[in-house]
Amino acid sequence: MSRGIRYPFPDLHKTGDEELNWLYFYSFIVAIFVFEVSFITFAWFFVLRREMRPSEMWAAEEGYRMMTSHFRRYSYRELVEATRKFRVELGRGSSGTVYKGVLEDERPVAVKKLENVSRGKEEFQAELSVIGRIYHMNLARIWGFCSEGSHRLLVCEYVENGSLANILFNDQKTVVLDWKQRFNIALGVAKGLAYLHHECLEWVIHCGVKPENILLDTNFEPKITDFGLAKLLNRGGATQNLSQVRGTIGYIAPEWVSSLPITAKVDVYSYGVVLLELLSGTRVSEMAVGSGAEVHSMLQKLVRVLADKLGGHEESSINEFVDPELGGRFSYVQARTMIKLAVSCLQEDRNKRPTMESVVQTLLPFDEASS
């Protein structure tokens, strides 16, 4: 006759079983409690969300997004102190003025103060909608913002050497960019724009590509700034009509005047103008005195002349256009490639212009060959 298993300490074993049963019971109770709390919290959030006005919902969602991003919200008083009451002006643009500041952690910053409140608020929100998703070495970083009362400000990284315009078109010529620096700037700006056009979660059109919006750090690495005119495109490829947005004479693509839907090709056109200015060291718009139409006409004439020069094989045809400040110290192959790209970027028919992605692919082999 078989006997059951006999434990050496039956009383102790019995107590262990009871403790195990109580453990299961308590675990079940805790699980029910957690489920009920989660359900009540979700239901409360759902009811609250339905009762919130759209503006309040936007503020709540924007606030959460900001908390989970790299932004910091600054008070207006903090930025007044950081800029010493907006004492040192770094530059002035269509959407506001930029001042130099120093934060409490002694980090230098550029504070962009949007002065036109009615229009500035829209630009401010447009910038906020993109900068949280963007990071690239050739795009200026945005460290934070201020949205207090009627004040709208952006806190940006301070880029030491200022804008390309200040260096390239400065009559004093305290700094002359050498050829390697110019080519690197052309490539870096192309990379930054290619990132905006092709690699962001949403397509971004800058709408303000010009030397004033290209900053240079201590190594003369370019950083594109000022997204006040930036507009987003859905991945589906739909375009937006941005004819209300004002550009700068000399950098405006012809479709602005025609009131056609604006695409990323307007940035390609502006980039072509910047290429010519990097090559020649001269602001293209200064070659013609008059209205925007006359500047555009002159630019198209210049494009035709350069296209003819590309048809020849004499180096003198290229030498005539390159900045004499370089004293002939430049790469003929790279210069010819940049001129060829500029001509293609400045085509009046936007469908004939390259994408910024293809511009990068054209320049990269020449950069690798020179390194």
Binding annotation: 113
Residue 327 tokens, joined = 């004293």
Phi then psi for residue 107, to 5 deg, are -85, 125
Q: Binding site residues for ATP, as ranges?
A: 113
- Residue type (1 letter), 177: L
Strand 96-102 relative to strand 222-224, pairing: unpaired
Phi then psi for residue 278, to 5 deg, are -65, -40
Task: Quote the Cα angle for 169-171-175, to 5°.
Answer: 70
How far apart, in whole angstroms, are the C-alpha atoms of residue 119 and residue 131?
19
Residue 98 tokens, joined = 């930029």
Label residue 213 exposed, middle or buried (CB < 10 Å: 0-12, 13-18, 19+): buried
How far apart, in whole angstroms, are the C-alpha atoms of residue 20 and residue 89?
73
**Cα end-to-end span (Å), the chain:** 92
Residue 275 tokens, joined = 């290429």
